[in-house]
Amino acid sequence: MEYQIKNISPNNLEQCIKCTICTVYCPVLAVNPDYPGPKQAGPDGERYRLKNPEFYDAALKYCLNCKRCEVACPSNVKIGDIIQTARIRYDKRPVSLRDRMLASTDFMGKMATSMSFIVNTALRMPLTKSVMDLTLGIDHHRSFPAYSSETFESWMRRKAPDQSRFPRRLSYFHGCFVNYNNPALGRDFVKLMNAIGYGVSLLEKERCCGVAKIANKMVDEARRDARLNIGSIRKAVSQGRPVIATSSTCVFTIRDEYPHLLDVDNADVRDSIQLATAFINRLVDEGRVKLVFRKDYRRRITYHTPCHMQKLGWSIHSVSLLRSIPGITLVPLESSCCGIAGTYGFKKENYAYSQAIGRELFDRIIEAGVDLVATDCETCKMQIEMSTGVKVENPVTILAEALDVEATMKANGVI
C-alpha cells in the first residue's frame, strides 16, 4: 500500500480544512458584501478554477492583498497567494490607463520630480482632482503625495557625506516613495546608519519593488523590474553589503512576493534583504550596536502595524527600538488594516470601502491622543494622515530625530 505522506499542493491548498477563521479577519469582507471572502476566493474557488478557468470570479479584484488571512490561518494555507496568483493567471481584462498610471510609480515619479512645482500645484487644485476623478476614476478625496524637487538618488550622488570612511557598508533599497516624495526619510536613514558605523550606498540599479504593478496585474513589467532588482541585490550581497529598506512593503515584496507570485528566485539573497528597524534591532539585541538618545526628546507615540509588517512578523523590531528611546511614551495600538493598500484606495470604486475598513483604526488613533504615529509603510502614512490629521513618520525618522549622533558615534567607536 502506498501513501501520499506530504502535502504536495501549491500554496498548501490541500491543508485548508474549511474552518473559516480567515473570513473573520478579512478587512474587506467586513465592509463589502460583494467580495466572496478569502476562503471562497482562495482555496474554495481554486478547486473550481483548477478544473475550469471559467470559474474565475472578477470580484477577486476586491482583495487588498493584505495577507491577514494568511496570518490568521492555523493550517498555513497561503490564501492571499492563491488569490493573487488566480488574478494574475485568469483575469484577462486589459489594464486601464488609470491603473497603469497608479502602478508606474517609477515613471510617474521621474516625470513629476522634473517639474515638481507645477505638478504639485496642479495635483492640489480641486479642478485637477475633479478631472482625474471623472476621466480616470482616481477618487477626488485623495491627495497625491507632494513630489520632491530633487530625488533621493540625486542627493546621494551629489550631496551625501562621504560614505567610504565608515568601517561597515550596506546598500539601501530606498523605494519610490523615498526617492520621489520623501527623500528626508532617506537622509534620516543615512544619518542613523552612519552614526552606528555603516556607510550607505545605492544599489547599482534600483526599480520599483513592483507591489503596485502586481496589484494592477502588470506582471510582465513587475517581473522585469524584479529581475533587475535581484541582480543588483545579488551584486551588493556578493560584495558583503546587506540590502536594507525602510519600507515594510518593499521588503515584503522583494523577499516573499518575488518567489511566490513572480517566480523570481531570491533564495540565495533573501536573508540579506532586511527592513531597517529589524536590522538595527538585531544589532542592538546582540550587543553589537548601541544607540544613545537625546535627553530633550519628548513624544507621545503609537505604532501602527502595516499589514505586510504583520505578515513579516517584525513589528517587535520597530516597537522595541521606539521603546528604547527614553523620552517616548508608547501607547499600544491594536493592529488592523488602514484600508488604503497601496493604489487600491486611490481608485474611485474602492474609496468608500477603503475608508470603512480603516474607520476603527482611525478612531483608535484619534482616541490615543498622540503627537505622532510611527509606521513602516508609506501608504499607511498617507492614509492615516489624511483620515486622522495626525502626523505619521517612519520609525527611522523618529530614531534619527531622537538620536544623539555624537554620543552614538562615540559609543560605537565611529569617532
Site of interaction with another protein (CB under 8 A)? 3, 5, 19-21, 23-25, 29-30, 33-37, 40, 70-76, 271, 282, 285, 310-314, 316, 332, 334
Q: Which is nearer to another protein, 261 or 307 (CB)?
A: 307
State which amino acid sits at residue 414: V
Q: Which is nearer to another protein, 170 or 312 (CB)?
A: 312
Q: Which is nearer to another protein, 223 or 311 (CB)?
A: 311
Q: Which is nearer to another protein, 191 or 255 (CB)?
A: 255
> Minimum distance between the CB of residue 408 and another protein, rounded to whole angstroms?
22
Place of cell 550631496: 159
Exposed/middle/buried for residue 152 (C-beta within 10 Å: 0-12, 13-18, 19+): buried
Looking at 290-350, list the stretches that DSSP marks H as alpha helix, in order from N- to C-terminal side.
307-312, 315-323
Which is nearest to 22 in space by CA: 62, 61, 75? 75
Residue 399 has which C-alpha cell? 530614531
State the DSSP code for 287.
T
> Minimum distance between the CB of residue 259 and another protein, rounded to whole angstroms?
14
Q: Which is nearer to another protein, 106 or 256 (CB)?
A: 256
The region, left, alpha or beta by phi > 0 then psi within -120 to 50, assigned to residue 246 is alpha
Q: Distance between CA 363 and CA 68 in Å, rounded?
A: 20
> Minimum distance between the CB of residue 62 and another protein, rounded to whole angstroms?
11
Count H helices and E strands in the chain, helices first.
Answer: 23, 8
> Minimum distance between the CB of residue 71 and another protein, rounded to whole angstroms?
4
> Minimum distance between the CB of residue 285 and another protein, rounded to whole angstroms?
6
Distances, alpha carbon 126 to alpha carbons 97, 132, 141, 383, 387, in Å: 21, 10, 10, 19, 18
Q: Residue 237, Cβ neighbours under 10 Å: how many?
A: 17
Q: Which is nearer to another protein, 211 or 312 (CB)?
A: 312
Q: Distance between CA 61 and CA 58 in Å, rounded?
A: 6
Looking at 132-288, list the stretches that DSSP marks H as alpha helix, in order from N- to C-terminal side.
152-158, 175-176, 183-195, 211-215, 219-238, 248-252, 258-261, 276-285
> Minimum distance between the CB of residue 50 and another protein, rounded to whole angstroms?
20
Quote the longest CA-to-CA distance of the chain: 74
> Minimum distance between the CB of residue 151 and another protein, rounded to whole angstroms?
33
Place of cell 544589532: 283
Q: Distance between CA 404 and CA 225 in Å, rounded?
A: 38
Q: Which is nearer to another protein, 69 or 373 (CB)?
A: 69
> Minimum distance between the CB of residue 142 and another protein, rounded to whole angstroms?
26
Q: Which is nearer to another protein, 70 or 393 (CB)?
A: 70
